[in-house]
Chains A and B, each alone.
Chain A
Amino acid sequence: MTKPESPRHESVCRDSLCKDPSHTESATPEFDRRNFLKGAVVGGAAAVSGTALTPESAQAQQPAAASAPQPAGYEFLNLDEAAFIEALVDHMVPADDLTPKGTDVGINIYIDRALAGGWGKGDRLYMQGPWKKGAPSQGYQLPLTPAQLYRAGIEATNVHCRKTYGKTFDRLDEAQREEVLVGLQSAKINFDSGLPVRVFWGALYQTVIEGMFSDPIYGGNRNKAGWQLIGFPGVIAVHRDHVEQYRGKPFPNKPVSISDMS
């Protein structure tokens, strides 16, 4: 199996925005992007006065990020939510010799775009009441669009984290993050807000998987890292001759995506 291109944070992480727990020892919370941007809004004349930041001025305010992928910006996630999702996807998909870390695969971007788009807004979701809890066999029954569910779920998880650890999820260490995720997955954590934890976890997990394995056109699976991980060929058109030729044999791991063929 061919390995993906060399991951961006192989040994030394030069990205001061990096949220990978293994790279953040030196990055104090004050220097993370959320605080930087919050500061920019409070103190920054540009944002307050409504003068849009030009690409150059935005660039100028970025802490040294020369080697990092362009931060793509978020359409839906607010600062707290972005920090949560970045921490989450980097924890669930850590960098190693198999793939880059979740944010470098673009899973955060995938999730943001999905929540901002039709799906997040409840496209195709039957949204008429009355709203009842129902049995698990009756499926999704919340009066929330996926975007609203995410918003409420991140908030509730951070409430739990503050109560338990004194800080939000993105500022927890790796072991604490693991503990929170196990708590969400097993529904050992209960949300004070009444939001059913299983439903939130189900949506969260599914979208992380989608961000890793859907076509890169949706913002995740950057450089087809998810497909390369398993050797999935992507948008291949014809296998008619391959069926015999590769029966029981490895197929070349050179995935093709929609944009490669467009």
Chain B
Amino acid sequence: MATKLKEVDVVIVGLGWTGGILAKELAEAGMKVVALERGAARSSENDYSLPNIRDELRYVVRHDLMQNTARDTLTVRNNPTQEALPMRRLGSFLPGEVVGGSGVHWSGHTWRWTDMEFKVRSMYEERYGKKFIPDDMTIQDWGITYAELEPYYEKFEYTAAVSGKAGNINGKIQPGGNPFEAPRAKDYALPPLTPILASEMFSNAARNAGYNPFPRPSANASQAYTNPDGTKFGACQYCGYCQRFGCEANAKGSPHLTVIPLAMKSPNFELRANSWVTKVLKDSDGKKVTGVTYTNVLNGEEFEQPANIVLLCAYAINNVHLMLLSGIGQAYDPASGNGVVGKNYCYQTGASATLFFEGKHFNPFMNAGGSNATIDDFNINWGFDRGPHNFVGAYNVGGGFNTNLPIGYRPVPSGTPQWGKAWKQATAKWYQTAMVINASGSVMANRNNYFDLDPTYRNAFGQPLMRMTFDYKANEHKMGTHAAQVINDIAKSMNPTRINQATARTEPWTVVPYQSTHNTGGTIMGTKPSDSVVNKYLQSWNCHNLFVVGANVFPHNSSYNPTGPVGALAYWTADAIKNKYVKNPGPLVQA
């Protein structure tokens, strides 16, 4: 029997980026907040420190900061007719499992998603007609606008020490920035990172080809910085161990450095680490939630934590799993198209080329998470006509480095033997001379890409695993072909000694190797309960005191990394709760 605890105002499930932001904002507003985090607490001083944090085997290969798949994982398959099997160890994506979540080990690339995403269906229909969007492409407008989110983007960028170069301040195009970005009220918190050779070479080639390169905005503090909350950042050391590592220099915008310590300062806040939430509880008529159940993973003891408001902040995938396990809302059925919980799971696609320049020294171990130059000419540029290429969506192209460590990164020209003297010679010869150009592409929602509960496999708590059904469709293949061509053209113009060409991805999605932790959808936002799980305030249509926060609310995936809008939406939701919901608890949007 679960021990029933004293009721609190707010219970937060998961203490990463979104949980951290909401914990701080609501505790400071005077609400009694408890955060339940399945992972343990770690600290910069003790854990993310020299020399032990510089360990590729431990953190990259063995996933020390990430979800333990022995305890909970997903089953996966490419289409509804296949039998799903468990992802027995992590591969394609790497959700975090410590206080701070994936915000500890992310790279920091921070983007503002624009109305090209938020109004995706209406913009494409208006320009290309309804028929341009395939029948099985279940994209929809999000019900929110860039203008509404703009101040919250800024808040997140300034909290996380995002370094970059503005391209559009209040409608005025800024040289050197991204000319396609939506207007921002202010420049970035910090100037861009110092470019590295690979990003400079890419920028020059892209400029010569008529494109508009700019430094990638990233939460790697380009100089020492104090954020508006008073958090002190060190300057980024270009340490080369960014992605999948905690930052030794306190230079990476991370929740365990910023918002979580501030929440901890408040007497209204309590963190319970090692606490695995198994279910959200509903009241008898299902109109409200009453709290959650959780297990102390150190001793197996079960608790019920009653709360006035429940916030799911457990990362995109886990939020959807908890919604399905708790039976809140109708589960999505791809055959009929009915139901919404689990609908529109999306991922990202990409293409990349490796360029070898005999005699050059790229020093691929010397970079920040965001040491990258990017072009958005085929991305948020609505001037790029998709009509002739017949695809919906977009991709960005970048050149540079991010965490290229030697177990995983030893580029050699294709055809090189995999072992023996010739392999060693090639490895030694080319390591310093290679750089990579890669594209990251959007994935549009599809009727047959979704989550539900697996009928066979269970987690350590005896609950069904979540089942992921996903594959790339013709739309993504067409976009990949276009992207590979653009990459190869830029690469060729740089006259490399050798090149491993980019190719469009055509094989099915696989659970190995790592691709990105940019999983989206499953509890999507929208304007009405029939096509969405939450409204624009991330509030459940079913239970008005439940908010589901994270990239799980995105109705489709863009080419950009997700945490810009994830962080902005967390601040936006915090404001809605503080300023609207607590004054008048009930639906913030009438269904």
Interfacial residues, chain A to chain B (CB-CB below 8 A): 1, 91-94, 96, 98-99, 119, 122-128, 130, 132, 134-141, 178, 181, 185, 205, 208-210, 213-215, 217-218, 226-227, 229-240, 242-244, 246-251, 256-258, 260-262
Identity of the chain B residue whose Cβ is nearest the Cβ of A181 in the assembled complex = B419
Known: A137-B508, A227-B406, A240-B237. A214 touches B56 (CB 8 A): yes
Contact of A134 among B85, B200, B405 (CB under 8 A): B85
Contact of A237 among B50, B73, B91, B421 (CB under 8 A): B50
Name the prevailing secondary structure of the B interface residues.
loop
- Distance between Cα atoms of A234 and B51 in the complex (Å): 10
Min distance, Cβ A161 to any Cβ of chain B, angstroms: 18
Min distance, Cβ A50 to any Cβ of chain B, angstroms: 36
Is B505 part of the contact surface with A, judged by Cβ < 8 Å? no
- Distance between Cα atoms of A233 and B54 in the complex (Å): 11
Residues in chain A near residue B85, CB distance under 8 A: 132, 134, 138, 141
Residues in chain B near residue A250, CB distance under 8 A: 361, 432
- Distance between Cα atoms of A99 and B425 in the complex (Å): 10
Inter-chain contact B456/A229, CB cutoff 8 Å: no
Interfacial residues, chain B to chain A (CB-CB below 8 A): 50-52, 54-57, 61-63, 68-70, 73, 76-78, 82-91, 194, 196-197, 200, 235-240, 248-249, 360-363, 365-367, 405-407, 410, 418-421, 423-425, 427-428, 431-432, 456-458, 507-512
- Distance between Cα atoms of A26 and B82 in the complex (Å): 57
Min distance, Cβ B45 to any Cβ of chain A, angstroms: 15
Identity of the chain B residue whose Cβ is nearest the Cβ of A137 in the assembled complex = B510
Contact of B248 among A135, A237, A242 (CB under 8 A): A237
Inter-chain contact B406/A226, CB cutoff 8 Å: yes
Min distance, Cβ B524 to any Cβ of chain A, angstroms: 25
Inter-chain contact B57/A210, CB cutoff 8 Å: yes
- Distance between Cα atoms of A251 and B431 in the complex (Å): 13
Inter-chain contact A139/B51, CB cutoff 8 Å: no
- Distance between Cα atoms of A232 and B406 in the complex (Å): 7
Residues in chain A near residue B236, CB distance under 8 A: 240
Inter-chain contact A92/B238, CB cutoff 8 Å: no
Known: A91-B420, A248-B197, A261-B51. A243 touches B361 (CB 8 A): no
Inter-chain contact B69/A125, CB cutoff 8 Å: yes
Contact of A233 among B82, B83, B87, B365 (CB under 8 A): B365
Residue of A138, A233, A250 most packed against chain B (CB within 10 A): A138
Inter-chain contact A99/B424, CB cutoff 8 Å: yes
Identity of the chain B residue whose Cβ is nearest the Cβ of A142 in the assembled complex = B88
Residues in chain B near residue A233, CB distance under 8 A: 365
- Distance between Cα atoms of A1 and B367 in the complex (Å): 21
Residue of A125, A126, A209, A233 most packed against chain B (CB within 10 A): A126
Residues in chain B near residue A141, CB distance under 8 A: 85, 88
Inter-chain contact A126/B86, CB cutoff 8 Å: yes
- Distance between Cα atoms of A218 and B512 in the complex (Å): 25
Inter-chain contact A126/B89, CB cutoff 8 Å: yes
Residues in chain B near residue A235, CB distance under 8 A: 50-51, 54
Of the A-B pairs whose beta carbons lie under 8 Å apart in the complex, a sample of 21, sorted by A's number, is A98-B425, A124-B90, A126-B73, A130-B456, A136-B510, A137-B511, A138-B510, A205-B418, A213-B56, A227-B406, A232-B405, A237-B248, A239-B239, A239-B240, A240-B238, A242-B366, A246-B361, A246-B363, A248-B361, A250-B361, A260-B51
Residues in chain A near residue B407, CB distance under 8 A: 209-210, 213-214
Residues in chain A near residue B423, CB distance under 8 A: 92
Residues in chain B near residue A134, CB distance under 8 A: 83, 85
Residues in chain B near residue A124, CB distance under 8 A: 62-63, 68-70, 89-90
Inter-chain contact B237/A258, CB cutoff 8 Å: no
Inter-chain contact B62/A119, CB cutoff 8 Å: yes
Known: A138-B85, A141-B85. A229 touches B428 (CB 8 A): yes
Identity of the chain A residue whose Cβ is nearest the Cβ of B423 in the assembled complex = A92
Residue of A136, A215, A242, A243 most packed against chain B (CB within 10 A): A243
Residues in chain B near residue A243, CB distance under 8 A: 194, 196, 238, 366
Contact of A135 among B78, B238, B425, B431 (CB under 8 A): B78
Min distance, Cβ B236 to any Cβ of chain A, angstroms: 7
